[in-house]
Structure formats: C-alpha cells, structure tokens
Amino acid sequence: GGSDLFGIVLALGSAFSAAVASVIMKRLRPGEDLMSLIAWQLVVGGGLLFAVSLSFEVSQGIVWTGTFVGILLILALAGTALSTWLWFWLLQRAEAGRLSLYLFLVPVLGLFAAMASFDERLGALQAGGVALILLAVMRAMFKVRTESAAPFPARATQAVRRMQ
C-alpha cells in the first residue's frame, strides 16, 4: 500500500542523494580537508535526522548497556564514518564508474556478516544471487579494464556506439 510506496521513494531518494554527493565530492577534490568535510556532513545529517526522529518516532527509552554502547560505536565509527571517508577517499583517486561496481557487493557482504554474526544459513536462492552478483561484477570489471586499456580511437568509437 502507501507505506510500501513511501519506502520505495525513500530508498530511491537515498540512492539519488548518495550519487549526487559522490559527484559533488569528485568535483570538489577536498584533498587534505576530506576528513573535516565528511565530519561536518555526518554531524549536520545526523542532527537533521535526530530532529526529524523526534516528531516521528515514539521513544521507549534507551538502556545504555556496555553492549549497546559498543555496537553503537562500531556502527557509528566503522559502519558510517570510516566507510564514508574510505568511499570519498577512493573517489578522489579512481574512476567513479569503476568504483560504483563495488556497491553491488554490499548485499553480499551483508549476507556474509549475517552468517558470521547470527549463524544464518545461505539458501540456494541467496547462493545463486551471490554467484550472479560476483560474476556480473567480475565481468564488468574485466570489461572496464579492457575498454580503458584500448587506444583512444577505439575508446571513442566504443563511446559513440553506446550513444546510438
């Protein structure tokens, strides 16, 4: 129903904003200021999300245990800050199109993390999906490497053919 559509719109909006942020960061080339730029991005974004959550979420209170704080720190530092910094650092040094291929590996890594953390089993459907993703990424990486190794006239011809 309506909530499904809202979730789809949020997911598409998230992907769109991540793509826009990648393009902006690629053009900005912040260099040494990359860490402070990302820190401000996370502080401002986190503050806005916190403000919105106050009006939409019903708080049931947080039990601040050592486990909770540890998981929160891992998610905030390794899962968000470090991965965001690493993405934009790589984006400054490599082609965005080639790097974006690695984003297809996120669900695969999520499955493996769930297997390691929660003893989940990989079913035949998931294993097939993982195999297809890995094969597609490897094929695309090989194709990108082959095209970028081609001499300029061949690359220009390939680009024109793609536009037709």
Domain coverage including residue 113: 95-164
Inside any domain, residue 137: yes
Asked, for residue 58, whether it belongs to a domain, the answer is: no
Residue 17 resides in a domain: no
103 lies in some domain: yes
Residue-level pLDDT at 39: 87
| 91 within 8 A of 25, measured Cβ to Cβ | yes
Q: Residue ranges of the chain with pLDDT lower than 50?
A: none
Evaluate whether residue 79 is within a structural domain.
no
Please tell me the predicted confidence (pLDDT) of residue 101: 85
Q: Residue 56 domain-assigned?
A: no
**Total structural domains within the chain:** 1
Position 8 in a domain: no
Q: Whole-model pTM?
A: 0.64
pLDDT at 145: 60
